[in-house]
Structures are given as C-alpha cells and as structure tokens.
Structure 1
C-alpha cells in the first residue's frame, strides 16, 4: 500500500518484488528460468555467439553463462555447434523450440508491460521511462 511518506527506497523494493512475482509465475508457466530471457533475446537477435561473447554482452560471469547454456541446452532451447574456424570454440544457436519459446516470452513480457503502464498517459510513460533510466544509471554510478 502506498503512503505519501514512504521512502523511495521502500517503494522501489515493493515495485521490484511485485515485478519479480509476476515474472516468476509467467516464466514458470513457460518452463523458463528467470535468468534465461536475456540470453534468449540476445541469441534471437545475434545467433552464433560463443560463451565468452555472451558473458561480456550480458555482464555475467563465465561460470554463470556456462551453467545457463547447459540448462538451456538440456531444455532444448539452444544448441552448440563447433566453430568452423576454431574447433576449440562452440557457437550457440536457438533451436526451433528456443525460437518458439522466445515468441511466447515476448507475449508474456508485453502482458507485464501493459500492466506496468496501465493508467499512465503517453507523456507519463515517457517520463516514467526517463526516470527509471536515471534511477538505474544512478545506482550503477554512471
């Protein structure tokens, strides 16, 4: 419940918690782990990345990416293929199942975004986005 005197810190925690609850339920229904959407989006846009490139782009440790790739490979979302120019390296691609799940993920994300912006005018949505970017930059010391 919103109170005028709630510190911004507590409001952000509440928003983050509500967002995580929505995402968790919807991702669970798709059998997607909460850390996987960024990799699905990346590979949909730029297939054939290796794990080192993925780690750098997504700002994740090599160990995290290795675990994520293994889990997604077991789920049938991605496949690894040997790099034709460097046989020591594997390139990662979405499978047909991965592309299908990515489309379902987009639908889920759009549903959540519609909930987030419900009741806001177009101008307010633009301002909200600007404020959220500024908050993120502030927290990342940019």
Structure 2
C-alpha cells in the first residue's frame, strides 16, 4: 500500500505533466511553423480584435519591444493587418486577416488533436476525475490570490 503523496510530490507531478503537455504541443505546432509566441499572440488578438500593440503586449505580459518583431513577422506572413487607429493618428489597431482567421481554426484543431492524443489513454472516468481535481486546484489557487 503506497503512502499519500506529499504536497511537494503533487506539485512536482503537476509541473511534470504540464511540461509533457507543452513539449508535445510545441512539437506538433512546430510542424506547422507555429511557435508558442505566435499562437499566444494570434489567439489573444482573436479574443481582442482591434487591439493596439501596447494593449496586446500588456495582455501577454511582455514588453512592446518583444511584440513588435512578432507583429511584423505575422503581418509579413499575411496573418494580421495594421489599421490606422481612428482615436490616435500615431497608433495602429491590429486585426486578423482571413488567412489569420484560418490559422486560428488550424490552431484550435491542433489543440484538440494534441489533447486527444495525450488523454486518449485515460478512461472517461479518469478524465472526469482529472478535470474535477484540476478545477478544484484552480479554484483554490484563485481564492488564495484574492
């Protein structure tokens, strides 16, 4: 009979599981030229269309200097467009192009595929238990932040 896991062991397991999930996702997304930074920026812009670069940087928790080359590359690839900001002649608003919107669909499909592959070995009951436990963990963590 095994002993109950310590809080430290639970933390280590959570970090290890997150690392495996991220590694498999990065590998799959990398096959399509989608880096984590590109995915985060595109999905954030999808949720917040018309964002200014400064607002996007703040939402992503990075500096404006980190966002600028990424925005330039995504614009060069035809995934996003800069539009003049009607409220500030010096600023631009960013929007997804049709190609960018198609990439969002591709990202969602890849996320689904990776998740299905990772969790396919777990029976439905275990998946439900895992979801319940992770929600409880996040609820507890959120309550401590307040």
How does the TM-score come out when normalised to structure 1? 0.78
Name the one with the larger strand percent. Answer: 2
Question: Aligned equivalents of 2:140 and 2:74: distance in 1?
Answer: 32
Which range moved further: 103-112 or 33-42? 33-42
Larger Rg: 2
Q: Offset at 1:108?
A: 0.7
- For the 8 Å contact 1:78–1:92, the answer to whether it is kept is yes
Does 2:146 match 1:126?
Answer: no
What per-residue deviation string (whole Å, max 9, x for no partner) do you get for residues 35-83 of structure 1? 1222212222331110111122222222222232122222221111111
RMSD: 2.6
Question: Aligned equivalents of 1:10 and 1:75: distance in 2?
Answer: 39
Aligned residues: 137
How does the TM-score come out when normalised to structure 2? 0.76
Which aligned segments of 4 or more residues in structure 1 are displaced greater than 6 angstroms?
none
Q: Which residue of 1 aligns with 2:82?
A: 80
Q: Where in structure 1 are there 5+ consecutive unaligned residues?
A: none
Which range moved further: 62-71 or 102-111? 62-71
Q: Where in structure 2 are there 5+ consecutive unaligned residues?
A: none
